[in-house]
C-alpha cells in the first residue's frame, strides 16, 4: 500500500463551495516535525553501532570465534552468521523506525525499513531459537522467552499495520523495539559487574543479563505509552490510503 500524504492536512471545502475554486493556502502546522527535536536519536544510534562492533567482530573469522561446543551440528556457525546479520539489520532499522521526523517526512522509507525489520526479526528470532540450545544453560530460559515475545510482538505489529490499526501498531512495535534493545543491557550488566569485582558469581551476572534488559525495557515502554496516551498519532486518514 501507498500512503498519499500530498494533501494531508489540507482544509476541506466548505459546504456548497464549487470544486474548481482555488483553496486558500493551508496555515503552517505548529507541530511540524523537526529532526533536531529528538536529541536522543544520535546517541541511540552511536550506542547501537558501538554495541554491534563489540559483539559481532569477535565472531569473524570462524577459527577465532568464541562459539560454544556444537559437535554434530555443522550448520551452527552458518546459522549463527545469518542470525548476526539479520539481528544487525533489525537493531539498526529499529532506530530509524522510532524516529518521528523520519517517519512523518519520509513515510515510504518508514514502510520499507519496517518490512526489512519484520523479516529480519522473524528470520533472526527463529534461528536464535534453534541455536540457543548450544548456549550455556544459564540464561537459556530468559533469552528464549525474550525471543518468543520479540517474534510475537513483531508479527502483531505488522498485522495491525496492515489492518490500519495504527494505535495498536505503535504499541506492539514499541514492545518489539524494547525487546530487540535488551541485548545492549546484557553486555552492560556483565561487563560492569566484572569490572566492579563484586563478590557475585559470573553465572548470576549472566542470568541477570538474560532477564533484566527486556523486562526493564518493557516497563519503560509501557510507562511511555501511558505518558503519551493523549497524543494524536498523526497518520493519514483511511480515505487517503490507496492500494499500490
8, part of any domain: no
30, part of any domain: no
Residue 224 has pLDDT above 80, yes or no: yes
Cis-peptide into 61, omega within 30 deg = yes
Q: How far apart are CA 218 and CA 235, in angstroms?
A: 24
Highest mean pLDDT range out of 5-14, 34-43, 63-72, 105-114? 105-114
**Average pLDDT taken over every residue of the chain:** 80
Q: How far apart are CA 169 and CA 114, in angstroms?
A: 11
160, part of any domain: yes
The range of the structural domain enclosing residue 201 comes to 39-229
Beta-carbon contacts of residue 3 (< 8 Å; ≥ 6 apart): 107, 108, 111, 235, 236, 240, 241
Following CA atoms 135, 139, 143, 145 in sequence, which dihedral angle do they give, to the nearest 10 degrees? 130
Q: Alpha helix locations (H) across the chain?
A: 41-56, 76-97, 100-105, 107-131, 140-162, 166-180, 182-196, 202-227
As given in the structure block, the three cell numbers for residue 101 are 521526523
| φ/ψ bin of 73: left (φ > 0), alpha (ψ from -120 to 50), beta (otherwise) | beta
Residue 6 has pLDDT above 50, yes or no: no
The per-residue pLDDT for 148 is 97
**Number of domains, the chain:** 1
28, part of any domain: no
Q: What does pTM read for this prediction?
A: 0.74
The per-residue pLDDT for 39 is 61
189, part of any domain: yes
For 144-190, write each residue's pLDDT tens digit: 999 999 999 999 999 999 999 999 999 999 999 999 998 888 788 87
The per-residue pLDDT for 3 is 40
123, part of any domain: yes
Cell 553501532, residue located: 49
For 81-103, write each residue's pLDDT tens digit: 999 999 999 999 999 898 888 88
Least confident segment among 69-73, 112-116, 160-164: 69-73
Give me the mean pLDDT over the 198-219 stretch. 86
Amino acid at each position: 500500500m501507498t500512503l498519499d500524504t500530498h494533501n494531508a492536512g489540507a482544509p476541506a471545502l466548505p459546504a456548497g463551495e464549487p470544486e474548481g475554486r482555488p483553496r486558500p493556502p493551508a496555515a503552517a502546522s505548529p507541530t511540524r516535525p523537526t529532526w533536531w527535536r529528538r536529541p536522543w536519536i544520535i546517541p541511540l544510534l552511536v550506542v547501537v553501532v558501538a554495541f554491534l562492533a563489540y559483539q559481532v567482530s569477535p565472531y569473524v573469522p570462524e577459527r577465532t570465534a568464541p562459539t560454544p561446543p556444537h559437535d554434530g551440528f555443522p550448520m551452527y556457525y552458518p546459522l549463527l552468521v545469518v542470525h548476526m546479520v539479520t539481528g544487525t539489520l533489525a537493531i539498526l532499522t529499529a532506530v530509524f523506525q522510532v524516529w518521528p521526523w523520519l517517519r512523518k517526512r519520509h513515510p515510504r522509507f518508514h514502510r520499507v525499513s519496517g518490512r526489512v525489520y519484520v523479516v529480519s526479526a522473524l528470520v533472526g528470532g527463529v534461528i536464535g531459537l534453534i541455536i540457543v540450545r548450544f548456549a550455556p544453560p544459564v540464561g537459556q530460559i530468559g533469552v528464549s522467552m525474550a525471543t518468543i515475545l520479540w517474534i510475537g510482538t513483531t508479527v502483531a505489529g505488522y498485522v495491525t499495520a496492515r489492518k490500519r490499526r495504527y494505535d495498536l501498531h505503535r504499541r506492539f512495535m514499541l514492545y518489539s523495539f524494547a525487546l530487540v534493545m535488551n541485548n545492549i543491557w546484557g553486555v552492560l550488566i556483565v561487563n560492569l559487574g566484572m569490572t566492579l569485582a563484586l563478590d557475585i558469581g559470573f553465572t548470576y551476572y549472566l542470568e541477570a543479563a538474560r532477564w533484566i534488559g527486556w523486562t526493564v525495557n518493557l516497563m519503560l515502554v509501557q510507562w511511555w505509552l501511558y505518558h503519551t496516551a493523549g497524543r494524536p498519532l498523526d497518520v493519514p486518514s483511511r480515505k487517503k490510503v490507496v492500494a499500490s
